[in-house]
Structure 1
C-alpha cells in the first residue's frame, strides 16, 4: 500500500512553460539570483510537505495466508473435515486438514512476493542536489526541495522536481524515464506556446530525469505527487491488475461446485429423513460428496505446471515474475510494443550520407569509403564533435564514448570508413572550438589546413541551408542557386519523413571565432554546404520474422511510443504493419478521446506516437474493453502504469527497475522475438492446463455420479472420503504433474487465441468430462451393485470400487495427453516423466495394499485375480469411450 503526501491541493497548476521568467518569479515569489531564504524554504516545506512518496505498511503474511482460505472449494473441504472429526472419522479429518494446509501454503508463497515498484520510484528521487539558498550554493537532500527553489544543474545530476529552465549552457537532459526515448533533449530558456504538448516543452526539466550534458539553472514549480513523475506513481497505485483467464475460470467452477454441493447435501438429508437413515450416515455421505466434488490436487498441480512453464520461458530468455502470467501468455491476442529498445537497438547509427552529387544526380551513388564528398562529410562530423572515446584500443563496436549519441555514431562511422580521429586532429590541428548549444543549433571547429584556417560546421539542416551560399560537388565548389537549394530542402524533408534524424555539414574559410556569440547568419556567411548525415535507430534483425510468426498465430502487434510520428510509422512499415497515415494516431488526438471512444477505433490503428504515460494506460484499457487479452512491453518509468494494468506486463532487461517491478515478465534480452517465444510457451502451458483440468474434473465427476447413484438407489456408500482423497492426492498426484511435461502440439502457433472472457473450460473439455465421468461411473456403479447383490463382503466391494477408480484414472491419462489427436498419433516416449509417473502410481497403488497402516486407514482387502482382470477391462472401456468422444466432438470439428 502507498500513501501519497497530499501536495497537489496546495501547489499551483499553471502552464509554467508559457510564462516569462518575470511571471514565474512573481507567481512563485522567488529570486532567481539568490534563491529562497532558509526561513521561507522551511515554511514551504511545512505547507507543501516533503518531496517524496510515503510507503504504507506491508501486508502481513498471516493475512495473505488467511485469504487463501476464502475459496469456496476450501470452505467445502473445511466443513467436510469438521463433520468427519465430529463423528470420529479421524483419518478422513486428518487427510482433509493436510490438504487444506498444503494448498493454502502454496497460494501464500505464490502471492506473497510483494512488488517493490514504489520503493524503486522513491529511490530515483532520493539523493542530494545543489540549490541556491540565501544566495549561497547548498547541498541538500532532494526530499527537502520546495516550489520556488533554484536548482543548479550539472552533468550526471538527477532532477528532483519539475522545474522551469532559467539558464541552459549546452544543457541536454535524458527524459527516457518519462518518454521512453533515449535521445537527450536540448533545453531552451524561452517561453513556449501554452498549447505546446508536454513532450515538446523543451524549457522544462522533469523530476526523475537525468542531466546528460552541459550546465544550467532551473526554478522548481512542482514537487512530489504534483510532478509528472509523481503522477505516474499515482497511476501505478490506482491501477488495478485484472484476473487471469485461469483465475476467472476456476472461480466460476468453484462457485458452481459450491452450489452443487449445497443442493446435494440438502438432497442427502431429504432422502435420509424419508428413509429414516441415521444422522451419522447422512453426514458421512454428505462429506463423501463434498470431497468428491472438490478437485483437491488442482492448486498444487496448477502451480507445478505454471512453474515448469516458467522455467521453459526462462530458458528462452524471459524471466517470469508472477506465476499466473505464464498461463495468461497463452491467451494473449494483442501485443502493444514500445519501439525503442524492443523493435530497435536503442542506439544511433549513421544510415546515410548525402552530398551534393547525390542531390543533383540521384543516380550517382558510391560507398562511404570511395566517394570524396561522403568522406569529407564524415571528416567534418568527426572534427566538429568534442566526444571522447574512453577505450580507443577496443574494437569499434565496443567503444565507450563520452558524448551525445550522434557524436558516437559519427566517430564509429568515421572509423569504419578509415577516418582515424587522433590522426585527423594531428594532420589538421584544432585552433578553436564552439560547442553545440540549443540556441545556436550547430557546433563549429577551427582547424589549420595546409597553412589556411578552415572552419568546419555541423548543425541543424535548416540553419546551415539558411546561411549557405555555395555547394561542394565532386571536389568542386559551385554557387548554390535557388533551384539547387530547393532540391536540398526536398532531400532533407524526404529523409525526415522517412524517420531519419538529420544533421548537415559544411565549411568556410575561418578568421577566428571572435564572432562566436553572433547570430548564425553573420557568423557562417559564405558557408560551403557539403551534405547531410542521416541517423537512425536500427531495427533488430529478428523482429520482422517474429512479427510474421505472431501474425500466423493470430496475434495483433501495435506500436505505442513517445517518439515522433514519422519515425514510428517508418519502423512499423519496415516490420510489416500497414501503418498508413490513417492508421496512425498521435498523443494530441488520443487525449481528446475517452476510453470508450478509443475502443471504437483501436482496430484501425497500428501506431500511436508522442504518447504520454496515462495515454498508454488508456490504450490498454480500450483494447481490454474490446474483449482482448493484452500484453504490453515497456522499459521506462513512464510505462509502469500500463505494464501493471495489462494482462501481461513485459519489461526489458535494460529497462528501469520501476518498469521491471510493475511487469509480470522481464525479457533478459531486449528482443521482441523472445516475447513471441514466451507466448508460444504460454500456449503450451494453456494446453497442458486444459489437459490437467479435463483429467481432474473427469475423475471428480466419476466420483460424484458413483456416490450419488448409490445414494439415490438406496445402496451403501461405495467410497469413503479417505478413498477419494487418497485417489485424488496420492495415487493421481504424480499423474497430475506429468501433464506439465507434455511437449507442444504441432499447430500451437497456427491457432487463433481465445477472446477475452473465454472460459478456460472449452465445450470439448466438458464433453470429454461427461463421457469419461458417465461411462466410468456407470461401469463402476454397475460393478458395485453386482458384487453387492452377489453377497460379497462390503469391504471387498468397496475395495474393488476403489481399485476400479484408480485403474480407470491410470488408463485414460494416455488418451488425455492430447485433446486434439488420437491415442495412436501421440508419440509414446515424448514425455518420459509421464511413463515414470504411471509406474510410480502403480507402485503407490500397490503400497496401499501392502502397508498395514494404510490398508487399515482405507479399509482395503485383497483382490482376487478375476477382480484384477475386470479392472483392466474397465480401463480399456474408458480409453475407447474417450477416443470416440475426441473423434466426434473435437477432431471432426477441426477437420471441418
Structure 2
C-alpha cells in the first residue's frame, strides 16, 4: 500500500488557499515597501512592509481550523463516531460519493447458513459435514461465513469431526483464487476439501457427485449447476461451492505438503447458501445521503446477481454492473470513463476497489469509503475519507480516518451535515479575514502613494490585526445556513479571490474617506504632529465594522 497516503480533498484545498494568500502577499508587500521607500524613509518602509506582510496573513487560521474540526469531532463522538484524523471532518462534508461494501452496511450483518445443498439442490447432511470440516480445520483468518457454518453444524458434529479427523495441510485463501482448501486424513487417504466462490471452484472441477454417483462434469451438467446457483442468487443469497478430491496418504503416516497445484481434478459435491437480509434503515439512509448530494456506490466481492438483488431492495438504481474481471481489462482512462455512471461493482478484489476509488478522485469527486475487512484496507487509504467500524479487522481500523461504533449509514448522513457545518465556519473566517486584510492593505497602499508620511505605524497595524483576529475566535460556535449544508462543499480559490477583490476595495472606501477627513477637516497632515498616525488609527473602526 505504500508508506505515504495520497493527498485528500482537505490537503489540496488548504494548499490552494495558502498559495492564493501567498500570491497576494508577493504582490502587495513589495508594492507597499517600494512606494514608501521612494517617497519616505527606506528603514521605516522596511518595517512597514514587514508589518504589512503580517497584516495580510490570517494568523488565526490554524487555530480557527483546529477549533472548528475539534468541535465537529466532539459532536460526532456523541453520535458514536470516533474521528481519528481531524481533517476527515471537512472531507466528510465535501464527500459527494460514498463507496461501501454490501455486507453489514446495506445488510443486517447477521449471516446465517440458510441451506446446505447437494448438486441436485436437495438438503444434504454430507454437504454440511464437509463444510464444517473445512471451517473447523482452517487456521487462517476466519470470517462470518465460517462462523455461520460452525454454528449451523452444532457442537456435537464439530466434536465428532475433531475426534475422527486430523489436519494434514492447508492451502490458504487468497483474493486471486477466491477459494481455500484444507487437507484432512480420512481413513487411509488424504481428503482435500475446497470451499470458495462458485465460478472459481467449478473452474478446477472435472467431475460432479450427483445422487451418490460421481460423474464427469459435462457442459449440460455445468449448465444445470449454474441455473441452481442463479436461482439462489436471485433470492439474495450468497452461494459458496464445495468440492473434494481424495488422494493416497503419504507412506508411513508422515504426511506431505500440498499446494495450489493439487487443486485440480476436483469433484463438486454441493453448495452452501447464506442469507444476510437488507437493513430496514438502509433505504432511508441512502435517500438522505442522496438528498444531501452524496451518491452511494456499492463495491462488493459478491457476484452480480446477489449484488443486484440486495441493492435493488434498498432503493439503489443498479443499472449496469461492472465486475472485477472487466475492470482488469480496462486501463485508467477506460475506468475513468465508466466509473461515474456505474453504481454497483461486483466480484472485486482489494486492488480493484482501490482503483475504483482512485478513478472517482481523478474525475473530481471527493470520495469516502466504508469497509471493515482486510480486503478493504487499500481502498480505505486511497479514499479522501476512510470509514470503518470498531469490530473491523485491525488493518482496516488502522487505515481508516473515522471509526463508527455502529455500522449504520444513518450515522454517516449526520457526519456529512456536521462536516459541511464545520467547513462553513472555516470558510467564514477565511473570507472575512482575507477580504478585511486585503482591504486594509489596499487602503495602506493608496495612502502610501498619496501621503508624505507612513499612514500607520507598524505597531498600530499589528495591534489592529491582533484585536480583529481575537474577535474571530467565536466563529466555531456560529450557526450555518441550512442551504449551505444541502450539497457538498469544497475549497474554491476562485470564489475566495472574487470575494477578496470585491469586498476588500469596498471596505477601503471607508478607510480612504477617513484619511481624507483627517487630512482636510482635522488637518492631520504633517508627520511632526503628535497624532500623525491617527489616520491609520481612525481606520480601525471601519476595519472592525467589517
Flag whether TM exceeds 0.5 (same fold): yes
Q: 1:647 to 1:337 in 2, by over 3 A?
A: same
Instruction: Using the TM superposition, name which of 652-661 and 487-496 deviates more.
Output: 487-496
- Report the counterpart of residue 467 of structure 1 in structure 2: 211
SS of residue matched to 1:335: strand
- Report the counterpart of residue 539 of structure 1 in structure 2: 278
- Where in structure 2 are the equivalents of 1:120-135 lying within 5 Å? none
Give 1:642 shift.
2.3
* Cα pair 2:232 2:239 within 8 Å, conserved: yes
> Does 2:361 align with 1:596?
no
- Where in structure 2 are the equivalents of 1:335-374 lying within 5 Å? 335-349=98-112
> Does 2:465 align with 1:728?
yes
- Report the counterpart of residue 777 of structure 1 in structure 2: 508
* Cα pair 1:343 1:543 within 8 Å, conserved: yes
TM-score by length of 2: 0.71
Residue of structure 2 aligned with 1:272, choices 37, 51, 64: 37
- Where in structure 2 are the equivalents of 1:503-652 lying within 5 Å? 535-580=274-319, 583-652=320-389
* Cα pair 2:304 2:347 within 8 Å, conserved: yes
Residue of structure 1 aligned with 2:80, choices 313, 317, 324: 317
Partners of 1:250 and 1:701 in 2: CA distance: 14
> Does 2:7 align with 1:241?
yes
- Report the counterpart of residue 475 of structure 2 in structure 1: 739
SS of residue matched to 2:479: coil
Give 1:625 shift.
1.6
Q: 1:431 to 1:569 in 2, by over 3 A?
A: closer
Equivalenced residues, count: 459
Q: 1:545 to 1:598 in 2, by over 3 A?
A: same
Give 1:602 shift.
0.8
- Listed as ranges, the gaps of 5+ residues in structure 2 are 134-143, 168-179, 184-197, 214-222, 242-266
Partners of 1:641 and 1:488 in 2: CA distance: 34
- Report the counterpart of residue 537 of structure 2 in structure 1: 802
- Report the counterpart of residue 69 of structure 2 in structure 1: 306
Partners of 1:611 and 1:432 in 2: CA distance: 34
Give 1:548 shift.
0.6
* Cα pair 2:132 2:153 within 8 Å, conserved: no
Residue of structure 2 aligned with 1:705, choices 428, 432, 442: 442
Partners of 2:305 and 2:458 in 1: CA distance: 67
- Where in structure 2 are the equivalents of 1:56-75 lying within 5 Å? none
* Cα pair 2:51 2:458 within 8 Å, conserved: yes
Give 1:720 shift.
2.9
Partners of 1:489 and 1:242 in 2: CA distance: 43
Partners of 2:400 and 2:483 in 1: CA distance: 29
Q: 1:402 to 1:766 in 2, by over 3 A?
A: closer
Give 1:740 shift.
1.1
Superposed CA deviations along residues 766-785 of structure 1, whole A, max 9, x for unmatched, are 55544542233221222133
Residue of structure 1 aligned with 2:26, choices 251, 255, 259: 259
C-alpha root-mean-square deviation of aligned residues, in Å? Answer: 4.3
Give 1:690 shift.
1.4
Higher alpha-carbon Rg: 1
Q: 1:468 to 1:576 in 2, by over 3 A?
A: farther
Partners of 2:147 and 2:337 in 1: CA distance: 42
SS of residue matched to 1:557: strand
SS of residue matched to 1:404: helix
Partners of 2:35 and 2:229 in 1: CA distance: 87
Give 1:324 shift.
1.9
SS of residue matched to 2:3: helix
Give 1:257 shift.
2.4
Q: 1:732 to 1:694 in 2, by over 3 A?
A: same
Q: 1:378 to 1:466 in 2, by over 3 A?
A: closer
Q: Structure with the greater relative contact order (CA < 8 A, sep ≥ 6): 1 or 2?
A: 2
Superposed CA deviations along residues 590-609 of structure 1, whole A, max 9, x for unmatched, are 11211121001112322222
TM-score by length of 1: 0.45
SS of residue matched to 1:631: strand
